Chain A
């Protein structure tokens, strides 16, 4: 079944999230530190938050993500620091 595949080590970078998927944030990667890390946390990218794509730009970079009720645009280089767990989508 579809959800069985996604159960295996379900960890991705936010930059790999596609338009129709939803996910939960697992954390921010250790390679992102200091001010950049602080900034992402302040914008609401915290552990446990639900996230999905809100808007795409013509070149798919940056992308606007819907997080805690607000749309925040990130470059893919920033989004790649955010680790997510994709939600299962049941067929139907």
Chain B
């Protein structure tokens, strides 16, 4: 029934459908993987979401449009992916209410892969969030969106060096024109299935005393909550006195 709904020209195009992509719309049952879409405000996350799921989640060229998460799904090579579109956020550390939705999902939702959508025109501003996400998860794909606009602005990005320095795959896209989306799907599938192993860049120049404190806390967190994948990050937040993390630990929301 879902299949009948798909009338987009891209679905019948041999290039786009060649590898068995099926957009499933809102049908998010029995998924194999959960994929999160994160990124700064106004970088085109919802456009990427629509391109992948065939849904028509409202898109607009202004920040703060998505304030709750939207869910959709697609099937690729007989595996079902549930895609979660998150509100844009500049940071995972200081959060306004809508930004908290994004942070909580990346932290507690345990997505199999996180697609970090960045604006190729404003890469520097976007990298802050990228590094913060890479502190939490090591399964991530960087989606270098708005490449058409970057081209117009004569911005040239060395994707290979960027991928090497960040330690995660980088896929240039213009989601509005569907370009790069097949490559993005393939990359996400490779990361989800462990064909691509990410070795994300982690900030290393930390003062000794803090490093020791973090290590000590981190081992204790691991003892108390063996299922937490990012104890180092939690340790940092505890040292900072982050209330929402402290509460989450108390309520055992991480497991």
- Which segment, of A21-29, A34-42, A75-83, faces chain B? A34-42
A residues in contact with B93, CB < 8 Å: 38, 42
Give the chain A neighbours of B94 by CB distance below 8 A: 35, 38-39, 42
Q: Choose among A39, A42, A69 the residue that contacts B122 (Cβ–Cβ < 8 A).
A: A69
Nearest-neighbor residue (CB-CB) of B40 within chain A: A70
A44 x B91 contact (CB < 8 A): no
B interface size (C-beta, 8 A): 10
B125 close to chain A: CB less than 8 A: yes
By beta carbon, the residue of chain A nearest B99 is A42
Contact B122 A70 (CB under 8 A): yes
A69 to B122, CA, bound (A): 6
Find chain B residues with CB under 8 A from A47 CB: none
Using Cβ atoms and an 8 Å threshold, which residues of chain A touch B124? 68
B47: interface (CB < 8 Å): no
Residue A7, interface by CB 8 Å: no
Asked if A43 is an interface residue, CB under 8 A from chain B, the answer is yes
B90 in contact with A68 (CB, 8 Å) = no
Task: Say whether B121 contacts A69, CB under 8 Å.
Answer: yes
B121 pairs with A42, CB closer than 8 A: no
- Point out the residues of chain A lying under 8 angstroms from B17, CB to CB: none
Contacts of A68 in B (CB 8 A): 122, 124-125
**Smallest CB separation, A24 vs chain B (Å):** 15
Mark B105-124 against chain A: 1 for CB-CB distance below 8 A, else 0: 00000000000000001101
CB contacts under 8 Å to A, within B26-71, are: 42
Interface residue B128 (Cβ < 8 Å from any Cβ of A): yes
Cross-interface CB contact of A43 among B42, B90, B121, B122, cutoff 8 Å: B90
Report which residue of A42, A44, A68 has the largest number of chain B beta carbons within 10 angstroms of its beta carbon: A42
> B93's closest neighbor in chain A, by CB?
A38
Residues from 4 to 29 in A contacting B, C-beta threshold 8 Å: none
Bound Cα distance from A26 to B121, whole angstroms: 24
Select B125's contact among A35, A38, A39, A70, beta carbons within 8 Å. Answer: A70
Q: Which residues of B contact A42 (CB under 8 A)?
A: 90-91, 93-94, 128
Over the window 41-54 of chain A, the binary record of Cβ atoms lying under 8 Å from chain B Cβ atoms (1 yes, 0 no) is 01110000000000
State in angstroms the CA–CA spacing of A31 and B29 once bound together: 51
Cross-chain contact B91 with A69 (CB below 8 angstroms): no
- Bound complex: CA of A57 vs CA of B79, how far in Å? 51
Separation of A44 and B126 alpha carbons in the complex (Å)? 9
Give chain B residues whose Cβ lies under 8 Å from the Cβ of A38: 91, 93-94
8 cross-chain CB contacts under 8 A: A38-B93, A38-B94, A39-B94, A43-B90, A44-B128, A69-B121, A70-B42, A70-B125
Q: Which 3 A-B pairs have the closest CB atoms?
A: A42-B91, A69-B122, A68-B125
Binding site for A on B (CB under 8 A): 42, 90-91, 93-94, 121-122, 124-125, 128
A residues lining the B interface (CB < 8 Å): 35, 38-39, 42-44, 68-70
